[in-house]
Each structure stands twice: as C-alpha cells, then as structure tokens.
Amino acid sequence: MRSDPPEPVSPTRRALLAGTLALAAGLAPHRSVHPARPEDVSSAPGEQPLTLFLAGDVMTGRGLDQALPYSVDPRLYEARAQSALHYLRLAEEANGSLPLPLDFAWPWGDALAVLDEVRPALRWVNLETTITNRGAPDPGKEVHYRMHPGNVACLAAAGIDGVSLANNHALDWGEVGLEDTRRSLEEAGIAFAGAGPDRAAAMTPVIYPTPAGRLLVFAACTGYSGVPRGWSAGPSRPGVHRINLAPPSIRALADAVSAVRQPGDRVVLSLHWGGNWGYAVHEDQRQFAHQLIDEVGIDLVHGHSSHHPRGIEWYRGRAILYGCGDFLNDYEGIRSERAVFRSDLTAMYFPTLEPSGALRSLELVPMRIRRFRLQQPPAEEVAWLQAVLDRESRKLGTRVLPSDEGRFRVVPA
C-alpha cells in the first residue's frame, strides 16, 4: 500500500471541476450531473420527474483506508485498538482475505451495476470521514476517522456527485483536516454541503441544474448525533452546520431556503441526527421533520447517523428517511451485542420527485457489506431487512413492501 500522493489533477480538469458552490454568486456545482434518462428529455425543464440516489454513511477511513491504494499512518487512539490495521485483520478473519490493495471501485461492488441501470440525476451520500494526512486528533473524542487524500478516487469511482460534511467526524483531525477534506473534494470535482470556513459557507446549499430543473441540497447535523458544540461554524470560524430540534433552527433554515429557492426548485435536506443504534423515532425528531416540510419547504429529508436503516415516513406527499444506515464501513468481525441491528445490511434509496417536489415513488435496493464490498444479499437477508423496515415504517403510517428482483417499494399505509 502506497502512502505517496497520487498524480496531481491537471489545471484544466481542476478548472472544470473544482470550486464549492457560493450562495451569493449562484455558481454551478462542482461537476455536471449524470445524463437524463431518454424518457425524461421530451418534457420542458421543471416539468419532469427527478430520480436521486441517496445512501447513508460512507466511512472509507480507518480499516478501509488501509486496504485502498494509499493509506495514512494507521495509529489510532481507541480503547479497542491502537492501529487501523486491526480492523482490516478482523474483516479478513471474518470473511476471507482481500486482494490488497483494493481497486478504487472494489468497495462499491454490486451497487455500481444498479447505479448504471437507474442513472439517477444525483448521487449523494454522507461522507463519514475526513480526507487528510495532516492535523492532530481531537482530544475530546476517542474514535477518529480519516482517509488518505489519494483515496478520494474511491468516491469518484462510484460517480458520487456530492456529499454531506455535516457530521460527527468532519473535524476529527481539526480545522486542518476539514480544510484538506474540502480541498480534496474540490479537486476531485465532488460537491459538498454542511461545512465550510464560516457559518455562511456551512449553510450554503449545493445547487444542481438538471434537465428536470434545479435541485437544492442543504446539509446539517445535530448534537444528538455526537457532534460537539465547539464544532459549530461561526461568523469567521470553520466548522459544520450544527442545528437544534427547536424553533430557532426552523426559522434559520426557512430563511436560508427562501433566500435561494426559485419557482420549480426541489429541495433536499441531508441531516445527520439521532443515535447510532435503535429503531425508535422520538416525538421531537418526528415533529421537527414535519416542520421541515410544513414550514421550511423541504421536499425530502435525507436522514443519517444510525448505523443501520431505520423507518421511513411518507408525510403529506414528502419522504422522511429517518436513518439510511451505513453504506460503507469497516465493522466486519467486530463482536458486539449490537450485532442484532445488522449494520452490515444497508440499502440504496432511489426517490423520484414530481415537479412539485412531491414524492412520486421510492424504491430501495438492499445491499450487504462483505469483504469491504457491497453485495446483493441472499434472499433470507433481503426478507429480514424488508420485514424490519416495514415494521418500523408502519408505526409512521408507511409501508415498505417487497417488489421485483428483491427490491422494496415504499407506499403510504
């Protein structure tokens, strides 16, 4: 495994791809979106449905970083392990040896064929790691994630358009680590929201012009998901867009959305909230999600933080994904009482939004993490995940039903 940096991005490619969207300037996003599907191009912009790909936490640091072509110093500061190589060894002991170093496309496995089939207009995930080989670990935390900047090509291998940085690992390696993360994403042509050099930048959405009209993606996080209060971006301080489940946050989000929203825009909030384990959706969380739709004008709440998928709510024609689970992680082989939650089972979320922003359909494609790679799960595991998601979503007035080819469809109850 190499630790030397990859070849630099050419000035021409950087000019085409780099740069975070500036709210005031109204610039284009980092990279062009994927082409529209043939059946969508006959309608005028703003009159077409829009299909997105959303997933939960993508944690390509720690053990996975050690398996990719580049790697940072493996030293850790955890009670459980002092080296990231520990997690690589656990994965190999549990499910077999890996072809090291892994190809950048390896972790995405069977998900790549699904993405090629669906061809979503946007591919968006929560990036649950910093991208840096500098900085110092936050002394207030025990678990610190980071990935070598050379491994940002792993995100590009799946055609990821944008990521949320509003989470409890964005500043694991301090402000230097956040700065390096932003720079690496910019140079790779991957957009981001939810963190920046100041609060205004952290609150700035990514704006995607698509053949179906503009899509606005905001990102935020809460303290309940483990984000330290001191990580909040300030007027002149780098940090994340940290909010509370309270009226002042609703008003601030409403102001931010109204400042940039144009007729025909569809708006997504990528929100890192809630605990890591468990299915319960607390009443204050549900009430806040409803207010995001009713008072802020959010069309889809993309929730993440839980290490396993949680319930879904179809509310007033909009979708609330309370927790999308981990999409990539290095948890294989870890023995814990939390294994009952099956953090190795995850899903690809494909919502299709009407021109009004209302939810036309929501399809889930289940996946399983094995050998640091996404695979189609066996039938019994597909059935288990469907039953769990349906059980939890029924409590929210929604059903998750089996569909064709081992997939799920979400409908109002």
Q: Are 380 and 402 in contact (CB under 8 A)?
A: no
> Do the beta carbons of residue 241 and residue 166 sit within 8 Å?
yes
Helix (H) or strand (E) holding 301: strand 300-304
112: exposed, middle or buried (C-beta count within 10 Å: 0-12, 13-18, 19+)?
Answer: middle
Distances (CA, A) of 189 to 73, 181, 278: 26, 12, 35
Name the percent of the chain lying above pLDDT 90. 82
Torsion angles phi and psi, residue 284, rounded to 5:
-65, -35
Read off the pTM: 0.90
Quote the tokens at residue 281.
């959706």
CATH architecture assignment, domain 11-412 = 4-Layer Sandwich (3.60)
Dump pLDDT digits (tens) for 258-314.
999 999 999 999 999 987 878 889 999 999 999 999 999 999 999 999 999 999 999
Q: What is the rounded radius of gyration, in angstroms, for the C-alpha atoms of the chain?
A: 20
Average pLDDT score over residue span 196-218:
96
Two tokens at 280?
A: 């319960």
**Whole-number pLDDT of residue 276:** 80
Q: How is residue 147 annotated by DSSP?
A: E
Burial of 59: CB neighbours in 10 Å, binned 0-12, 13-18, 19+: buried
Please report, for the chain, the start and end positions of each structural domain, with discontinuous segments joined by +: 11-412
CB-based contact 241:178 (threshold 8 Å): no
Please tell me the distance from the alpha carbon of residue 41 to that of residue 326, in angstroms, as a whole number.
34
Can you list the alpha helix ranges (DSSP code H) found in 9-61?
A: 11-17
Tokens linked to 372: 């640091």
Residue 207, beta-bridge partner list:
216
Separation of alpha carbons 100 and 57, rounded Å:
23
Average pLDDT over residues 162-191: 98
Contact 30, 19 (CB under 8 A): yes
Is the per-residue pLDDT at 160 higher than 70? yes
Please give the backbone phi and psi of residue 366, each rounded to the nearest 5 degrees, phi first.
Answer: -70, 150
Strand partners, 401: 409
Q: Give the separation between CA 55 and CA 327, rounded to whole angstroms.
A: 6
Question: pLDDT tens digit string along 32-44?
Answer: 333 333 333 334 5
